[in-house]
Structure 1
Amino acid sequence: MDLELRHLKTIRAIADAGSLTKAATALGLAQPALSAQLKRIERALGGELFERGRQGVRATALGEFVLARARVVLPAVSGLREEALRFGREWADGTGFRLGATHGPLLGALVDRLAAAHPGAPVTTHTSWSEREIASRTADGRLDFALVGACGASPPPQSELLVWREVARDPVFVMLPTGHPLAACREIDLAGLADEAWTDVPGDGCFADCFTAACARAGFTPSSVYETDVASCVHLVQVGRAVGLCRATFPPTPGLVTRPLAGSPLYWRHLLGWHPEAPARDRAAAVFTQARAAHAEAAARSESYTAWLAEPSRAITPGAGVS
């Protein structure tokens, strides 16, 4: 017999009542049926849970052990049920936000802004290095909104099913350790980094091909590119093992600096997507506004990006860069 929650409730009822007869009454069972059930539970747990006597029942050492666990598990399950019902009602009412995102710089800020603007509304997140996975989950209703990036002018995934709006577009910057010979430069020619190893986060878009093409135009082929998570990219740059590619909004980080590449050979578009027939469509404008505000805040925190934006000749126009 598999132990079930109802069995724990039975054990607790017997302990609270102090006798099988009183427990049977409380549970709406005949006393012989409760006795038979208790025996099955005890066989499943490997020993007697109660000592029977003229004064009723008293928990054995094993019974006390099981009761202690039951008094933790049963309230937890009850709380889970209540929270799940509330959560389900809120989703049904269209008040929650299920966000999917790649490992970009905006998700945390967007969650914070939505939670502040909609107190009590559930906000959940799903992250993946795959833009296609995030878009697929949004297309089939498992997510409400997709916050992903696209390289240059390349189309976003699932563009035939989802509505996409451009939150912002940024030049791609380079991360250097603070001690790098070029760290003091205002901008860096890509060709000046020809002898470096590189690091970047993985993705299933065209960015890797676009980077290789940009390097070829600069006259070199990258010697190696470490594709790994953001924390590992930062570590590799900090210790001087590689230079990194990053969005211009990359936050200030000890041990490294971010610098623009001369001529902005690469740029990145931040995109918000949703299904046009999903209930979430009514909240798309609000989420889009919060995403743009999150991007503006991220840009303002980057001194190098703020300086870059201050020069009108640096502005990115739609269709520029590598696609």
Structure 2
Amino acid sequence: MNLELRHLKVVCAIAETGSVTKAASLLGLAQPALTAQLQRIERTLGGPLFERDRRGARPTALGELVLSRARVLLPAMKGLQDEAARLAGSGSDRTMSRYRIGSVGGPVVGGMVQRLAEAQPEAQITTQASYYMEELAEMTMAGKLDFVQVGVCGDANPSAEYGLTWQSIAMDAVCVLMPEDHPQAKGMDVDLAELSDATWAGGPGGGCFTDCFSAACARAGFTPRKILETDIRSAVDLVETGVAVTVAQPSFRPPAGLVTRPLRNAPVRWRQMLGWHPDSPAAQEAGRLMAMARDAYVESATRNPLYQEWLADYPHLGVDNLATV
């Protein structure tokens, strides 16, 4: 593995927070994913960077060396990226001919790409997928992506560390994916407290959502009994076999035998957002791409008529809840 700037950011985050768990929360990563990444970094550099115990994580001599270099390199690289983005964006007032769009998945990107291709058949459109929002944000800041479409817990904002402009597309209630014969699948929605004995399955890269979900469970009076981290397809398989339930976006189209039901009173919300660098050519196209993103969301939302009916009692949710960060 070659050492990259994102690895240096991981080392700095652990040193600044004094904890791998806190650093994972800061970076929007699952703690096991960050631990595995740290182990790969340490193998690349030839030794442990931190001494870890109950009191937290403290840099070793090797860690101090890496930190001293990282604290010089990271600000210098960010300055270079800022200047390059400003130069690339100067004097550009025409429609873009190339669109590079990153996404963590969801209902919006497909509709955006379709609308963009129809509006500009000659444009070159590429997409980039990642489980991790910070990876896509770094690529956008570095000029490798023009737009990034992500989701964040409704009570959080994307990190301001990357200097991107973010605009909200829509706010959704989080749904539960479960077998259609599940006892809690009979109504229009599900009380989270009634799932206190459930085993949950989820994919990697949840970031702040994991904390928001745990907090919602605590308010409902329980701690999730077990959370199985796996890829999205395997999570659906676990639900199909009856081993677990999982969270899903309302636009998710479940396979035969499964259904989605929103959590009653929306204790956890998921906000679809579009981001771009404010000094890049993409900033001039952002209004047009935002309109396409909203239209794509509305189209996807209509595929779940039960959710549309449920939304009538929750006017604060949906595409009209827009804000710029």
Hey, what's the Cα distance between the residues in 2 that align with 1:245 and 1:204? 11
- Determine the structure 1 residue equivalent to 2:221: 219
- Determine the structure 2 residue equivalent to 1:286: 288
Hey, what's the Cα distance between the residues in 2 that align with 1:267 and 1:98? 28
Hey, what's the Cα distance between the residues in 1 that align with 2:219 and 2:96? 49
How far apart are residue 227 of structure 1 and its match? Answer: 2.4
Unaligned runs of 5+ in 1: 1-91
Work out which of the residue numbers 245, 249, 252 in structure 1 matches 2:251.
Answer: 249
- Determine the structure 2 residue equivalent to 1:200: 202
SS in 1 for 2:265: coil
Give the aligned CA root-mean-square deviation in angstroms: 2.2
- Determine the structure 1 residue equivalent to 2:142: 140
- Summarize the Cα distance change of 1:134–1:302 in structure 2 as closer, same or farther, 3 Å threshold: same
Hey, what's the Cα distance between the residues in 1 that align with 2:269 and 2:314? 16
* 8 Å contact kept, 2:170–2:317: no
Q: Which has the higher contact order (CA 8 A, sep 6+)?
A: 2
1:1-323 alignment runs, 5 A limit: 94-158=96-160, 161-203=163-205, 205-312=207-314, 315=317
How far apart are residue 315 of structure 1 and its match? Answer: 4.2
From the CA coordinates, give the structure whose radius of gyration is larger. Answer: 1
- Summarize the Cα distance change of 1:146–1:158 in structure 2 as closer, same or farther, 3 Å threshold: farther
Query: Letter of the aligned partner of 1:237 in structure 2?
Result: V
SS in 2 for 1:271: strand
How far apart are residue 248 of structure 1 and its match? Answer: 1.9
Deviations 1:73-119 (A, max 9, x none): xxxxxxxxxxxxxxxxxxx9731110000022222222222112211
Unaligned runs of 5+ in 2: 1-93
How far apart are residue 127 of structure 1 and its match? Answer: 0.5
Hey, what's the Cα distance between the residues in 1 that align with 2:206 and 2:190? 27
* 8 Å contact kept, 1:258–1:304: no
Deviations 1:234-290 (A, max 9, x none): 221122111110122222432211111111100011010000111122211111111
- Summarize the Cα distance change of 1:236–1:204 in structure 2 as closer, same or farther, 3 Å threshold: closer
Hey, what's the Cα distance between the residues in 1 that align with 2:236 and 2:122? 35
Query: Letter of the aligned partner of 1:114 in structure 2?
Result: L
Deviations 1:11-69 (A, max 9, x none): xxxxxxxxxxxxxxxxxxxxxxxxxxxxxxxxxxxxxxxxxxxxxxxxxxxxxxxxxxx
* 8 Å contact kept, 1:178–1:256: yes
- Summarize the Cα distance change of 1:252–1:118 in structure 2 as closer, same or farther, 3 Å threshold: farther
Hey, what's the Cα distance between the residues in 1 that align with 2:179 and 2:193? 18
Hey, what's the Cα distance between the residues in 2 that align with 1:98 and 1:240? 39
Query: Letter of the aligned partner of 1:156 in structure 2?
Result: P
- Summarize the Cα distance change of 1:293–1:159 in structure 2 as closer, same or farther, 3 Å threshold: farther
- Summarize the Cα distance change of 1:175–1:313 in structure 2 as closer, same or farther, 3 Å threshold: same
Hey, what's the Cα distance between the residues in 2 that align with 1:131 and 1:201? 14
* 8 Å contact kept, 1:135–1:146: yes
- Summarize the Cα distance change of 1:118–1:220 in structure 2 as closer, same or farther, 3 Å threshold: same
Hey, what's the Cα distance between the residues in 2 that align with 1:93 and 1:167? 22
Query: Letter of the aligned partner of 1:289 in structure 2?
Result: A
* 8 Å contact kept, 1:194–1:220: yes
* Percent identity (aligned): 44
SS in 1 for 2:174: strand
Hey, what's the Cα distance between the residues in 1 that align with 2:112 and 2:230? 24
How far apart are residue 314 of structure 1 and its match? Answer: 7.1
- Summarize the Cα distance change of 1:116–1:318 in structure 2 as closer, same or farther, 3 Å threshold: closer
Hey, what's the Cα distance between the residues in 2 that align with 1:97 and 1:314? 32
Hey, what's the Cα distance between the residues in 1 that align with 2:316 and 2:189? 11
- Determine the structure 1 residue equivalent to 2:81: none
* 8 Å contact kept, 1:151–1:206: yes
Hey, what's the Cα distance between the residues in 1 that align with 2:234 and 2:112? 24
* 8 Å contact kept, 2:173–2:317: no
- TM-score (normalised: structure 2): 0.66
SS in 2 for 1:182: helix
SS in 1 for 2:294: helix
- Determine the structure 1 residue equivalent to 2:64: none
